[in-house]
Structure 1
Amino acid sequence: MKYVDEFRDSNKAKALAWQIEKLSCQLGKQIKIMEVCGGHTHSIFKYGIEAVLPKAIELIHGPGCPVCVMPKGRLDDAIAIAQHPNVIFATFGDAMRVPGSQTSLLQAKATGADIRMVYSPLDSLKIAKENPNKEVVFFALGFETTAPSTAFTILQAAAENIHNFSLFCNHVLVIPALQALLDNPDLQLDGFIGPGHVSMVIGTEPYQFISQQYHKPIVISGFEPLDILQSVWMLVRQLVEKRCEVENQYRRLVENRGNQLALTAMNTVFEIREFFEWRGLGDIPYSGLKIRSEYAQFDAELKFIIPNLKVADHKACKCGEILKGVMKPWECKVFGTACTPETPIGTCMVSSEGACAAYYKYGRFSMVGREGVGV
């Protein structure tokens, strides 16, 4: 297939759904599949994929939204840096409205902080060149998908000898998070829909431990409706055939060894933190990135004094449980009532990849009548 409408063909979707139901009947039990990536969650709701799957298959939403997994304490640190009088703070738009313990970046901007939305870290480097008397800090966040662009920006800043640029590094790694989920006894999963964008960078080989150590199948998937349906079919087929393998549905973009140029840039600029805190998952060993000492002049955590405190989430917010896959958004008592995209209490309702935002935008009214869902 060459064109996007071919990946949205309703007749092919119906054929795949029929094949999935036929296979699932052979298993004779409930099947729980986690889609790791928040982009998959939004595609699933946007195209009504859950509605065409058999009732025997339940999709569980995972921790693949980089803004959602950021703990409140790290956001408070970012806001503290942004409020320095000589700082221009650059961030992706998704992070602007995420609530910290006292305020958000958007509210800090409204009260005078120079906070600017950018579309890439290179935009923030350009701001630094244009404002040599200001300290420009980029809010670096995301999985392996966005880490290479941050690394290339640091290499560019070093090559051009730009001294007034740094980044607050919050890049995280998907493999340790998956391992933490698999070690959670409360979460019984039958298989994974693997993240397509992350896998474009890291390839398929890092997922082998899922099949070899935990004996679970995983299929790397694209984001169009036929991509996701085919991935579910591949997973159910593995279960029927009693196989546990890493399969690559997204072969048009994902290679087994990943993007070596991107991985080299990441390994040049970053090293792995011993621990990093995740919202809902707690401290996960070796799950975050920090800037190597060779590029310490670009590390905002060394340039600025920050609170560096652990802050508990709002008691009413169940974002942590949703990120762990043990609760659905509509089961949260404040979902769609006190917590909406206009008045978010937790990160899952703010981010464009958040599960709560997906339910609210595409699935909220289909959930009306269930406990905890407002109208």
Structure 2
Amino acid sequence: MKYIDEFQDPELARRLLDEIRATVTRPWALMEVCGGQTHSIIRHGLDQLLPDEVELIHGPGCPVCVTPLEVIDKALEIASRPDVIFCSFGDMLRVPGTGRDLFQVRGEGGDVRVVYSPLDALRIAQQNPDREVVFFGIGFETTAPPNAMTVHQARRHGVKNFSMLVSHVRVPPAIEAIMSSPSCRVQGFLAAGHVCSVMGMGEYPELAERFRVPIVVTGFEPLDILEGVRRTVAQLERGEHTVDNAYARAVRPEGNPAARAMLEDVFEVTDRAWRGIGVIPDSGWRLSPKYRDHDAEHRFSVEGIRTEEPAECRSGEVLQGLLKPHECAAFGTLCTPRTPLGATMVSSEGACAAYYLYRRLDVPAATAREASPVV
């Protein structure tokens, strides 16, 4: 198959669903680790179409959602300074910090700009040599290479007024943290295909063996996800726990060597706090000493900012797969995309936002299962 429409074909989806039903003999709980996959699952109703024995648990796969409150507050502090042009992707502007967000900072006079690439921010720095330009660099392994390349270019071309506030996180340590939790119910993982297209699959076999869980690298279209579920369920039913690549059209076992080399040059592995979860050892990146002059956290002396998550927001439980969004008492009432309590409601890849946009909770299960899997 070569075209997107083919990966949304209802007839092919029915065949995959029939195969899953014919294979499964007992309950299994699978976690998708990507917010994009979560939105695809909820938008197309895949979780409702699967047999009752297969439960999909939504994991911490949204980079906006897992950015900790203290990093948001650091961004707000830097963006409020009169000498700073603060650049960010648009999905970060509505994420609540302590009492306000970047939209409010902009409304108060802060120079906060939406960009579509970190290189746009570097260009702004070159055009405004008398201002400090900061780019908000967040994300998983997918967005890390272009951010690393931008810092590399800033150093190479001597753009001294450019810096980056870094909050990058890594997937394998998150899987390890989830599986190590006493409350974990996950029996298999759908790994994020775009992450593996960068980093490859080398870190997953040890996790699959240690925790005895199958890990299937999966894409983002409905048929990608159903094929990932089919392969995962088949392994579980056979008592196997290996790493399987169901996204071979985009993922090579070794990943992207050039991107990985850039990451190794610019970043170094560090412990990282995840919003609503806490600190996970070796789960993030920070700028290496070679590039420390471009570290906004260091340049603006905001390392000491510490915060506490609001008690009324249960997004941490959602991110750990312990709670479905609609099971939160604030969902759709106190917490909406216009008045979010947490990032999972405002992010374009957040599980709460997906449920708010697509889930029709009053649809009877039988009706939902008869519906087409493609909207």
TM range (shorter): over 0.9
1:21 paired to 2:21: yes
CA offset at residue 280 of structure 1? Answer: 2.2
- C-alpha separation between the residues in 1 aligned to 2:3 and 2:45? 21
Asked whether the equivalents of residues 32 and 38 of structure 2 are also in contact (C-alpha less than 8 Å), the reply is yes
Matched, 1:232 2:251: no
Paired position in structure 1 for 2:83: 86
Structure 2 CA distance for aligned equivalents of residues 180 and 315 of structure 1: 22
- Let me know the Cα RMSD of the aligned residues: 1.2
Q: Is residue 2:144 matched to residue 1:147?
A: yes
Q: Helix, strand or coil for the counterpart of 1:11? A: helix
After superposition, residues 197-236 of structure 1 pair within 5 angstroms as: 197-236=194-233
Q: Verify the 8 A CA contact 2:168 2:284 in the aligned structure 1.
A: yes
Distance 1:329 1:217 in 2: 26
For residues 130 and 90 of structure 1, the distance between their equivalents in structure 2, rounded to whole angstroms, comes to 14
Amino acid at match of 2:199: I
Aligned residues: 364
| From 337, 341, 347, the counterpart of 1:345 | 341
What is the deviation of 1:305? 2.2
- Which stretches of structure 1, 4 residues or more, deviate above 2 A after TM superposition? 307-310, 364-368
- Provide the rounded CA distance (Å) in 1 between the counterparts of 2:268 and 2:344: 28
> Which of 287, 290, 293 matches 1:294?
290
Would you say 1:128 and 2:132 are equivalent positions? no
Residue 249 of structure 1: how far off its partner (Å): 0.5
- Secondary structure of 1:211 counterpart: helix
For 1:312 and 1:332, the matched residues in 2 are separated by 20
Q: Which runs of 5+ in 1 are unaligned?
A: 369-375
Give the Cα–Cα distance (whole angstroms) in 1 for the partners of residues 362 and 346 of structure 2. Answer: 20
For residue 162 of structure 1, the aligned residue among 148, 156, 159 is: 159
Whole-angstrom distance in 2 between the partners of 1:13 and 1:125: 44
Please tell me the residue identity of whatever aligns with 1:19: E
Are 2:248 and 1:248 equivalent residues in the alignment? no
Q: 1:271 aligns to what?
A: 268
Select which of 175, 184, 191 maps to 1:187: 184
User: Partners in 2 of 1:318 and 1:301 — Cα distance?
Assistant: 28
Paired amino acid for 2:292: A
Give 1:373's aligned residue. none
1:108 aligned residue? 105
Per the TM alignment, residue 147 of structure 1 is displaced from its structure 2 partner at its CA by 0.5
Superposed displacement of residue 210, structure 1: 2.1
1:365 Cα deviation after fit: 4.1
Partner of 1:45: 42
Does the CA-based 8 Å contact 1:316-1:333 persist in structure 2?
A: no
Q: Partners in 1 of 2:201 and 2:223 — Cα distance?
A: 20
Query: In the aligned structure 2, how far is the partner of 1:174 from the partner of 1:367?
Result: 34
* Separation of aligned partners in 2, 1:280 and 1:32: 22
- Flag structure 2 segments of 5+ consecutive residues without an equivalent: 365-375
- Pick one of 356, 361, 371 that aligns with 1:360: 356
In the alignment, the residues of structure 1 paired with residue 346 and residue 206 of structure 2 have an alpha-carbon distance, to the nearest angstrom, of 32
Higher relative contact order, structure no. (Cα contacts within 8 Å, ≥ 6 residues apart)? 2
The CA distance in 1 between the partners of 2:362 and 2:263, in whole Å, is 42
Q: Is the 8 A contact 2:297 2:303 kept in 1?
A: no
**Residue type matched to 1:20 in 2?**
I
- Quote the Cα distance in structure 2 between the aligned partners of 1:145 and 1:283: 21
Q: Is the CA contact 2:189–2:215 (under 8 Å) kept in the aligned structure 1?
A: yes
CA contact (8 A) 1:73 1:308 kept: no
CA–CA distance in 2 between the matches of 1:349 and 1:256?
34
Q: Aligned partners of 1:313, 1:158: CA distance in 2, in Å?
A: 36
State the alpha-carbon separation in 1 of the partners of residues 198 and 265 from structure 2: 15
Q: Alpha-carbon deviations, 1:11-50, whole Å to 9, x = none? A: 110010011011113xxx2210000100000000111111
Alignment CA distance shift 1:146-1:310 (3 Å): same
- Report the Cα distance in structure 1 between the residues aligned to 2:163 and 2:62, rounded to whole angstroms: 24
Name the amino acid aligned to 1:43: S
CA offsets, 1:332-370, max 9 Å, x none? 1000011111111111001111000000001144479xx
C-alpha displacement at 1:313, in angstroms? 2.0
Aligned counterpart, 2:370: none
Specify the alignment match of 2:299 in structure 1.
303
Secondary structure of 1:244's match? coil
Partner Cα distance (2:127, 2:190) in 1 = 43
Partner of 2:9: 9
**Contact in 1 for aligned 2:74/2:297 (Cα 8 Å):** no
Partner residue, 1:175: 172
CA distance in 1, matches of 2:132, 2:30: 45
Q: CA deviation at 1:67?
A: 0.8
State the 1:52 CA deviation: 1.2
**Structure 1 residue 131 displacement after superposition:** 0.8
| Deviation at residue 143 of structure 1 after TM alignment | 0.6
